[in-house]
Amino acid sequence: MQYLSTSDQTKLYYKDWQSAHPDPAQRTVVLLAGWPLSADSWDDVALAIANAGHRVIAYDRRGFGRSSQPFNGYDYDTLADDLDAVLTHTEARNVVLVGFSMGGGEVARYLSRYPGSLVLKAAFVASVAPFKIVVEADTTGTAATAYEKTKQAILTDRAAFFEGFFDKFFGAPDISHPVSDAQLAWTRSIALQGCLPATLGCLHAFSHTNFDADLTTVKIPTLVIHGSDDKIVPISDDGRKKAQAIPFAKLIEYPGAPHGLFATHKAQLTQDLLSFIQS
């Protein structure tokens, strides 16, 4: 197993896959997982990208999967610094960043925190940025109430919370071809590998972070992919606003699609990402 150490000595587990026959125009595609998952959630897509001749790096966010589980460090500045540590350690070049859900926030924060990096392109898949569940200007109380209910549900019975969460995550029972029960069970098991401070800390981070300023700094070709029936991160609050905020962004909407596109729309997502990577 491959690990690297961050500046605060947190150990991050990562995968680094390359075909024996790389594409002459090989890209390094870095895949960032959503909350509360690990790099394993990207495996099917990662395999296809590697088989197409590109280098693929995916890592477990601190607190999740096989990475260290520190008590602190679940803010987006620290998570962006972790991403930089991954790129530095692996000597990544010609980089394409792909952030799913919470991972999109890391992509946005990294690009604003590390201007002039070696990143050629960025893709946001069902991404949180610029989504904000809780903002200080909110006077209705509904957003804050939703956040507190989620937090309390996790503290009360995390396993039970994830059972209902992933049903909505993958669109069951509303979409015509939901994922299998086995896929649901596997995804829940990944989520439960994360420690409680990480689960709650990251929930707070993506619920309270405003990415509007970060998105204005993105000056590279950008792909935004979002399902029109995403109940976790609604497209009206995120995908469409992101495409408008980024100067060189292309938006692809998946009609009727839920949040967990890496499983529900695996073939379509893989093809769209490969077309973007290789264009």
Asked if residue 212 lies in contact with residue 242, where contact means CB atoms within 8 angstroms, the answer is: no
Given the residues 230, 238, 265, 272, the one annotated as active site? 230
Place of tokens 């859900």: 101
d(CA 135, CA 278): 38
101 is catalytic: yes
Given the residues 38, 68, 101, 207, the one annotated as active site? 101
Q: Is 113 helix (H, G, I), strand (E, B) or coil?
A: helix
Q: What is the DSSP string of 226-276?
A: EETT-SSS-TTTTHHHHHHHSTTEEEEEETT--S-HHHHTHHHHHHHHHHH
For residue 63, is it left (φ>0), alpha (ψ between -120 and 50) or beta? left
Asked if residue 129 lies in contact with residue 234, where contact means CB atoms within 8 angstroms, the answer is: no
208 is catalytic: no
As beta bridge partners, residue 29 has: 56, 96
Q: Is 155 helix (H, G, I), strand (E, B) or coil?
A: helix
Given the residues 89, 259, 265, 272, the one annotated as active site? 259
Q: Taking Cα atoms as reference points, which of 131, 116, 139, 143 lies closest to residue 212?
A: 131
For helices 158-169 and 181-191, angle between their N-to-C axes, nearest 10 degrees = 130
Distances (CA, A) of 239 to 90, 120, 139, 217, 229: 30, 21, 24, 17, 12
259 is catalytic: yes
Give the residue numbers annotated as catalytic, written as ranges: 101, 230, 259
